[in-house]
Each structure stands twice: as C-alpha cells, then as structure tokens.
A and B are shown apart, each in its own frame.
Chain A
Amino acid sequence: MELANLYQSINLIIPEIVLSIALIVLVIADLIFHTNKKIIPFIAGTGILVTAIFVINQFNYIGFAFSTATHTARSFGMLAVDSFGVFFKLIVIVSSFIIVLLSLASDEIQKTTDRIGEYYALIYGMILGMFFMITATDLILIYLSLELLSLSSYVLAGFTKLRDRNSEASLKYLLYGAVSSGLMLFGISLVYGLTGSTNLYIINTLIQNPHINLFTLSFATILIFAGIGYKISSAPFHFWTPDVYEGAPITITAFLSVASKAAGFALLIRFVKTVFVSYETNEGFWSLIEVFDWQSILVVISILTMTLGNFSALWQNNLKRMLAYSSIAHAGYMLLGLVVLSNQGLIAILIYFMIYLLMNLGAFLVVMLIANKINSEEIDDYNGLGFTSPLLSVSLAIFLISLTGLPPTAGFIGKLYLFIALVDAKMIAVAIIALLNSVVSLYYYVRVLKHMYLVKATASTPSIIPSTSNAILLLVLVVPVLIFGVYFQPLVEFAKDCIVILGI
C-alpha cells in the first residue's frame, strides 16, 4: 500500500480516530479523577460533540479507504465513506449524545458512579463498532466491527448489577449473540471459499458468474443475514430483544433500540446493495443479480417481524418490554423500505430513522423519568398519571401516537413514505398488511394512554415534575415530532441527499 493511499485513507477515518482519542482521554481521566467522577460524563459528551463535527465534515470527503488495489483497475477499499454512511453515523452520534444526557438523568446509572468511567468507555466502544459497521465493505471488517459492538453491549446490558434481571439480560444477550455471530462467521467463510474474496464489491462481480454454486451461496448469505438480523432484531432472530431490553439499564435499552439498530440497518442495506444489486434503473429501482429471490425472503422476514412484534406487544404489562416488542415491529416496518429495492424505499428508511430516533428515545426518556420516581415500569402503575404529571404524560402520549403513525405527528410521515415506496413498487398487498399492523399497534400504544388518562388519579398517584434540564431535553424531542408532522420538507430534503451508496 502506497503512502499517499494510506494518507488519504486516514483522512477518511478521522471521525473514528477522534473517537478513539476521546476514548483514551476518557480512560485516563477516569484514572486521574477517581475521587470525583462528575467530570466524566462531560468529557464523554464533549468527545461525542467533537466527533459529530468531524462526521458532518465528512460529507465533503467521499471515497474508499484502505483499498488494496490489486484485483481490478478500479480499486475498492475496506471502507466506503459515502453520504449514506455519514447519515447513519449522524444518527448514531446524535442518539449517543442523547444517551449521555439520559444517563445523567437516570437514577439507575447514577447509583453506579464509581464505575461511570467504564460505562462511558463501553459506550464509546459501541459507537466505534457501529461507525465501522456502517462503512465496512469487507467481510472481515464487518465481522470485527459487529463483535466490537456486541462485546461492548453485552457488558453494558448487565452493567448496573442492581437487579437479577441485569445479569440475566447480559447472559442471554451474550448467548444469542455468540450463536448468531458464529453463524455469520461460518457464512463469511463459505462466501470466501466460494469467491476467494472478502471484499463486497469483488464478491458482487464474482457472483454474477452464472457458474457459481447457487446453493452454497444462498446458504452462506442466509447465515450472514442471521448475524445482521440479530442486530436489527428481525424475526426469527428477535428472541433476545424483549428480555435484554427489559433487563438492561433503560439508557442502554434506548441506545440498543435506536443506534445499534441503525448500524445494523446500515450494514444490511449496504450489504444487499453492494453484493446483490447489479445496476440501478432510471426510475431508481435496484436490479438484483438473479441468483436467488432475496426480495421474497425479505418480504417474508419483514412481515413476520412486524406481525410478531405487534402481536406480542399486545400482551405486555411492562412498558419497557412493550417498547422492546414495538421496536421489533418498527424494524419490520423499516425493512419494508429495503424490500422494495429502490431509492424511494431507501429515502423512506432514512426518513423513518430520523423520526424513530426522536420518538423512541423520547418514549424511553419519559419511561425513565417516571421510573426514577415510582421505581416501576409496569403499565398498571401509570394509572392516573395524566392528571398529576401533565408534562410527562402529554409527551409520552405524543411519542406513542407518533409510534402508531397517526397525523399530525412525525411518525405518520415516516410511515407515509414507506407506504409510498411500497405502492410505487406495486406491492399493494404488503402495504395492506403493514397498515393492518399499525391498526394492531394502536391498541397497545393507546393502552398506556388509557392507564394514564382514563383511570382517575387517586391520592397515592405520584406527581412527577421533571427537573428543568430534563424538561428541556424532553421538549427538544417532543417539539420536532410535532413540527415534522406538519412540515416534513427538511427531513425529505436531507434524506434525499444521503442516499448515495458507493457502488460499482
């Protein structure tokens, strides 16, 4: 590898470098200030903000990093820095910053102040893993980044050790994770055996060869999907989600449900687009290499995911667990954007993620603030809260209505664009199933409202008034959900600029 190439490649991974430096600073600071750890969250937050600046700056640096330049005239690297990747990095970095703020407000996390340095260091580990996952175009790097993300999250899921459920969550997460990452590694080795390469672009060229062994390729791909499907908690790899989400500290649950899912989606979309798509039509549809009918498989997975998620959520009494199932359902909706295999669908996913970030983190924030006070996430304990804690209840109501996808909230716009993409691709039946699913989801979201508002407050109903800083954070999440519901132009404008996936 030439020096110039290396230099240019390093330019392309500045955000990751900054993140690593911040991580080191964080660890050292943790050692220096071991008596007064109040400064640690601020270092963590600052590091994330600085990284964010470099991530935004990356919109100007598009290209492949660490290309080997040996195979073909055009060289493909191990990393592809493109607007699509930058978009997802932004999603990750914004949600990370909100998670840091959430952690500051969380009683659960504040009880473990002596280990707070490790907590943030592990979050940084997750961010780093996600960043590489989002940009990786090499199977080895994909696997490594996935493991980096997973290992950090296994520890974080059981971090507080306050309840038995913490350890249970951590262990379950580890076991499921180990199995799926093993499957994925097996799939990767099969693909390597088949094509002799780990680079997605080269694999793409090679599998267009009609003599390829279809069975092995399909089998290997399904195994790789298992690994990615586990990260985005799509059926049938979703079983860990409810237990882990319920058991993990709520900040980590929120982080997993947004950032980790975003990284998984970025990986899945990039994988499908770079490996299986031969060209893009003028109408923005992706033409698949005809080795296997991936589209039908994705349709089935998507419908299964949302249906299982929604129907299981109907029976939940714990709000955290219910939100876990709801996040499974949302993964199903978002898969719809991939199912249509078009730029229109990709835009829909990006729009959905921006909105999902706001409404899901918002919902978790409210649940956390309420749990801080009443020490419970059971829906029955929310009885009458609507009358004693108006700010929190109204915000939660708005987030839940947005998650259902009713106008005039932003959630409607997210769903609308997904359905537009489906109708555009003439997949009406799928659209109908998805819409029926959102009717089902209405029932369990509204159930929370029922407990908050339809049950009268009693003398024992606590009155929860969030601190000023938390109230501001809440408003920062609520107001856009309402504004984007009636004026969504900026979202779409931004999304349409972020659909460039570097390809052949």
Chain B
Amino acid sequence: MIGFPILSLITFLPVIGMIIILFLKKEQINNIKYLTLIITAFQVILSVVLLANYNYSAAGVYEEGSFQFIEKFRWIEITGISWLGTVKVDYFLGVDGLSMPMVLLTAIISFIATISSWNINYSAKGYFALFLLLDTGMMGVFVALDFFLFYIFWELMLLPMYFLIGIWGGPRKEYAAIKFFIYTLFGSIFILLVMIGLYFSATETLADGSKVFTFNLLQLMNPSNYNYDGILSPFNPNNLRLIAYIALFAGFAIKIPMFPFHTWLPDAHVEAPTPISVILAGVLLKMGTYGILRISYPIFPDITRDLMWWIAMFGMVNIIYGALVALAQKDFKKLIAYSSVSHMGYVLLGMASLTSVGINGAIFQMFNHGTITAMLFLIVGVIYDRSHTRGLNDFGGLASQMPVYTGFVTVAFFAAIGLPSMSGFISEALVFVGAFGVESIRVLTMLSTLGILLGAGYMLWTLQRIFFGPLNEKWASLTDLEFREYAMFIPLSIIIIFLGIYPSAMLDLMNTSVNTLVQFVNTGFNVSSLSGL
C-alpha cells in the first residue's frame, strides 16, 4: 500500500491550489492557469498511482476490510448526553470498484476541462479558484464513505457551479444558474432527510462495545445494526423505507437527470461555458447514478428489488424521450445535452437489471459517457469559439475546411452512437445483454433499443448538416484545430478507442465489486430471513 493519505491528497489538493490562487494577484493570469493545470495534472498522476496500487480482487461495497486506501479517523465526537448517547461522525475515505472508475474519470475530466478553460480571461482568478473548489467537491463525493461527509461534498459543489455558470455563462446565465441551484438543492433536502432518518435507525458497535448512532455508510448496510423501532429499520413493521427510498432516489435522480427532473440540464448546458459543460456532463451527472449504486442499492436492497421495474421504466423513458427531443433540436449544444439525458438512461437501465453484466455495463457506461460527452461538448466549444453560433443549420461542408476537426468529431459521434470498436458500444451492449436477461424488464429493454436507432439518427443527421454537403461560404475562413485543442481531443480519443478494443482494462477494475454488490442487493435485507436475528 501507499504510505501517505493519497485519497485526502487527491481530494484536497485543489483546495490548496485555490488558497494559493487567492493570494496571487489577479493580473497574474498565466500563473493562475499554470497552477491549475499543474494541480489537475498532479491529480491525474495520483489517480494513476492509485490504479497501479489497486487490488483487483478486493470487493469493497459493504465490507470495510476490502476497501482500499482507507483513511478513517474520528471527526466529531460528543459524549455525555445520557438521553442521546455518543454522537460521532467519522472522516472516512476509501475506494472500491464502484468508485475507482469515477475517481479516474474525475481526474481526467478536470484536467481536460482546465485545458479547455485556457481562453477564459474575464476575472480568471475567481474562475480558477471556483473551478478547483468544484474539483474537490466532485472528488470528495466519490471517495467519501460516511454519509455526512458525502453530503458535505455533495453540497460543496453547488455554490461554485452556480457562480461558474452564472458569471462566465451565456446570455441567459442567471436563469440557468439559479435553476440549477434550486433544482439540486431541492434534491439534496431529500437526501438530507433520509440521512437523518437512517442515522436514528441504525447503530454501530464501537471497539469498547458501546452502541452509537452512525452515519457510516458501511454500517448502515448491515441489517443487524438496525434498531427494532427505527423509522427506517427493516424490523419495524411500520417502517418508512419505501418512502425514504423514493425520496433518496428522487434526490439522486435530479442530478442524473432523470425524466421528469431533467429540465434544468439543457438550460445549464446551453448557458455554461464549454469547460463547465464538460465537467457537468462528464462528472456531475455521474454523481446521481453513483449515489444510487453506493447508497440506495446496498442500504435499501429490499426496496431496490421491489422497484427495479420502475427504475428500468424511467431508464427507458430517459433513453427514448432524450433521443426524441434531441432529434428536434436546432442548437448543437442543446442536442448534445439531450443526448446526455438519453445516454444516462442506459445507465439506469443497466442498474435496474440487478445483474452483474448489467451493472458492469452501467458503470462502464458512466465512465464512457463521461469521456464521450466531454469530447462532444469540447467539439461544440471549438466550433462556437470560431463561428459564435451553434445553429445546426448554419453550417455545412466543414469537412473540407476543417478535416482534422472532422476526424475527431467522427470518432466522438460514432462512439456516442455505439459503433463497435468504440467504448460506447461495449457498455451499451453490456447494458442490453444484462437487462434483456431479466424477464420482468425484457419488454422495456426491447423498447429501449429504439434509442440506439434514434441516437444514430440525430448524430448522423448532425454530422451531415454540419460537415457534409457544399461549404457554406460564410465559414471559408475557419481554421482547423490548434495545439491546445489537440491536447484535449487526443487523450480522450485514445481512451475511447482503447476501451473499445480492450474494455477489460476498465471492467476488471469494477468486476469484483459489482459481483459483490449484485449478490448483496439480490439477497440482502431479506426480512423473512432477518427476523431470526
């Protein structure tokens, strides 16, 4: 193992960078940019170190022992209230197969987004300080194993995101920023309530044998820790677990975003500056599905089993609805935003299958969607920077004008469609194979395959409208990619193609944990077998 607290370092490194930036003069724009670049690059290096030291056979999920790079110490401890007992909150970080892909994704996307932020000069000091704070929030969510800590990181992202959209965004930035803020806060109050409810329903046995209420996610996954009369305890015949599950799910679903909670997303994407769109689509949306896998599934396996059809149904609706709306778009960025809604639907569908194949596919799809959609938003950014328009019908024939750019666009588009040899194909195929094998959601799965067809439709149509046909003379002066843009597109393309050809590199990482999770969700918290406890 590694001799230093690597997860804390990877999480709080950006905050250190932010503090340094606050002490720099605002005229030192280049120093600020290079500092941010160095910090995000260092994050990538740390994530590679994590990967190199990662034990592929350790499961994690609900066993503390098999989590990796654990850091745990007491953060808050209040004793001596007779009628309440000890109150404690742990600072508890660790990764397993569910979070490791997300940590990698966050590091990569933050780095790419930093490069993409290079031409931001309007109060750059504030921009990069907030950017780094956002980075910490994202990374923290994926490594926290204590609900309280998770929630703090979850909320920590809201404010920087609000400002990043609101200050550096497009014409309707104020509306988009506050809409994003209120929507997500609305979601997180439900998460908060469930968190408090769980706190009063389960206890953790400390080393000295005393029992205390706990925010520790892993302890909350152990049914024998629950009280008999807790409101969210499976033993309580009048428990509110179903309602709590729906509330928690809604809180996460807003972030995914799941239909019908998706309306903030197109606004946020269209108004956000390119790098923030990249972060939003690349990382933030994954938090919703990650939260469901990390918290909803193993803490409420009983309810998950009952509601899997509904999750699949919402996944199907997301896929079809997102694709249909994307077809109707005239704005390039909005089109990508809705394609995002559609692609996150595959994640939901794969998760709902509760099979190893399906959930492997879902997490892989989370990673792939992160890289592919990030690239798509960068593509929109490139053309918008040059032409200051995003109208799909304003272009035509750019392939001859910008051949290299068109090449990268083709890679990203075909990956989004799910062409074999691209990473998107593998994950979508796994999702469908997993979901199709489950009798109850087979019809939903079959309907969902329509999404692939529609996806090919809007993507190819877009490709045709922008890049083929006669060149619109207005754009005869557009230049092809420059060095900075190569630096963004090449790594992402390599990842997309590499994982399309050799998906095991990613699948092996999560496989053990996913198997454990699937087994746990399919058997855990079975009330009839619990009653003997």
Residue numbers of A with Cβ under 8 A of B are: 282-284, 343-344, 347, 387, 401, 406-408, 412, 416, 419-420, 423-424, 426, 428, 431-432, 435-436, 438-439, 442-443, 446, 449-450, 453-454, 486-489, 492-493, 496
27 contacts between A and B (CB under 8 A): A284-B81, A343-B81, A406-B158, A406-B159, A419-B192, A423-B193, A423-B231, A426-B231, A428-B193, A428-B240, A431-B193, A432-B193, A435-B189, A435-B193, A436-B186, A439-B185, A439-B186, A439-B189, A442-B185, A446-B181, A450-B174, A454-B173, A486-B152, A487-B75, A489-B76, A492-B87, A496-B80
Q: How far is the CA of A423 from the CA of B247 in the complex (A)?
A: 15
> Taking chain A's interface residues, is the majority helix, strand, or loop, or is none over half, making it mixed?
helix
Indicate if the CB atoms of A408 and B167 lie closer than 8 Å: no
Q: What residue of chain A has the Cβ atom nearest to residue B194's Cβ?
A: A423
Q: A446 touching B178 by the CB < 8 A rule? A: yes
B162 at the interface (CB under 8 A from A): yes
Measured CB to CB, the closest approach of chain A to B174, in angstroms, equals 5
- The reply to whether B196 and A492 form a contact with Cβ atoms under 8 Å apart is no
Chain B nearest CB, measured from A159 CB (Å)? 38
Contacts of A424 in B (CB 8 A): 200
The reply to whether A283 and B76 contact each other, CB–CB distance below 8 Å, is no
Contact (A453, B166) CB under 8 Å given A493-B78, A496-B78, A496-B80 = yes
Name the one of A442, A453, A488 contacting B182, with C-beta atoms under 8 angstroms: A442
Which residues of the other chain, A, contact B182 by a CB distance below 8 angstroms? 439, 442-443
B214 to chain A: closest CB distance in Å?
A: 13
Q: How far is the CB of A86 from chain B (nearest CB, A)?
A: 19
Residues 71-90 of chain B: 1 if any A CB is under 8 Å from the residue's CB, otherwise 0? 00001111011111001000
CB proximity of B24 to chain A, nearest CB, Å: 13
Q: Determine the chain A residues whose CB is within 8 A of the CB of B82 once the complex forms.
A: 282
With a cutoff of 8 Å between Cβ atoms, the chain A residues found around residue B158 in the complex are 406
Q: Which chain B positions have C-beta within 8 A of A283?
A: 83
Asked whether any CB of chain A lies closer than 8 Å to the CB of B163, the reply is: yes
Contact of A488 among B76, B81, B156, B185 (CB under 8 A): B76
Could you tell me the distance in whole angstroms from the C-beta of A325 to the nearest C-beta in chain B? 18
**A284 to chain B: which residues have CB within 8 Å?**
81, 83-84
- The total of Cβ contacts below 8 Å across the A-B interface reads 96
Complex: chain B residue closest to A432, CB-CB: B193
**Additional pairs, 20, CB under 8 Å, beyond known A453-B167, A489-B77:** A284-B83, A407-B152, A408-B155, A419-B192, A420-B196, A423-B200, A428-B197, A431-B193, A435-B189, A438-B185, A438-B189, A446-B178, A449-B162, A450-B166, A450-B174, A450-B177, A453-B166, A454-B166, A454-B177, A492-B87
Cβ of A407 and Cβ of B193 under 8 Å apart?
A: no
Cβ 8 A contact of B189, one of A347, A387, A436, A489: A436
List the A side residues contacting B111 at CB < 8 Å.
none
Q: Does B199 contact A (CB under 8 A)?
A: yes
Number of chain B interface residues as a range: 35 or more
Q: Separation in Å of the A265 CB from the closest CB of chain B?
A: 21
A498 to chain B, nearest CB (A): 12
Contacts of A496 in B (CB 8 A): 78, 80-81
Determine if A344 and B181 form an interchain contact, defined as CB atoms under 8 angstroms apart.
Answer: no
Of all A-B residue pairs in the complex, the 4 with the closest CB atoms, nearest first, are A284-B83, A435-B189, A407-B152, A454-B166
**Residues on B with beta carbons closer than 8 Å to the beta carbon of A436:** 186, 189
B156 touches A408 (CB 8 A): yes
Q: How far is the CB of B278 from chain A (nearest CB, A)?
A: 21
Q: Does B151 contact A (CB under 8 A)?
A: yes
Minimum C-beta distance from A418 to chain B (A): 10
Distance to closest chain B CB from A113 (angstroms): 38
Quote the shortest CB–CB distance from B405 to chain A (angstroms).
32
A residues less than 8 Å from B83 (CB atoms): 282-284, 343-344
Whether A420 and B199, one on each chain, are in contact in the complex, defined by CB atoms closer than 8 angstroms, is: yes
Which chain A residues lie closer than 8 Å to B151 at the CB level? 407
**Chain B neighbourhood of A442, CB < 8 A:** 181-182, 185
CA distance A488 to B173 in the complex (A): 35
**Closest residue of chain A to B74, judged by CB?**
A489
Contacts of A416 in B (CB 8 A): 192, 196
Give the residues in chain B near A492, CB-CB below 8 Å: 76, 78, 87
B231 — which chain A residues lie within 8 A by C-beta? 423, 426, 428
Q: Which residue of A lies closest to B155 (CB)?
A: A407
Partner of B174, one of A282, A408, A454: A454
CA A446 – CA B181 in complex, angstroms? 9
Distance in angstroms between the alpha carbons of A453 and B123 in the assembled complex: 11
In angstroms, Cα B159 to Cα A453, docked, is 12
Minimum CB–CB distance from B180 to chain A (whole Å) comes to 11
**Distance (whole angstroms) from the CB of B64 to the closest CB of chain A:** 24
Separation of A338 and B265 alpha carbons in the complex (Å): 40
Complex interface residues of chain B between 51 and 98 (CB less than 8 A to chain A): 75-78, 80-84, 87
In the assembly, what is the distance between CA of A426 and CA of B239, in Å?
12
Closest Cβ–Cβ distance, residue A183 to chain B (whole Å)? 36
B190 to chain A, nearest CB (A): 8
Chain B residues near A432 (CB-CB < 8 A): 189, 193
* Candidate in A284, A450, A454 with the most chain B CB atoms within 10 angstroms: A454
Smallest beta-carbon distance A225→chain B, Å: 28
CA of A454 to CA of B164, assembled, Å: 10
In the bound assembly, the distance between CA atoms of A427 and B107 in angstroms comes to: 42
**Which residue of the partner chain B has the closest CB to A485?**
B152
Within 8 A of A (CB), among B221-245: 231, 240
What chain A residues lie within 8 Å of B186 (beta carbons)? 436, 439
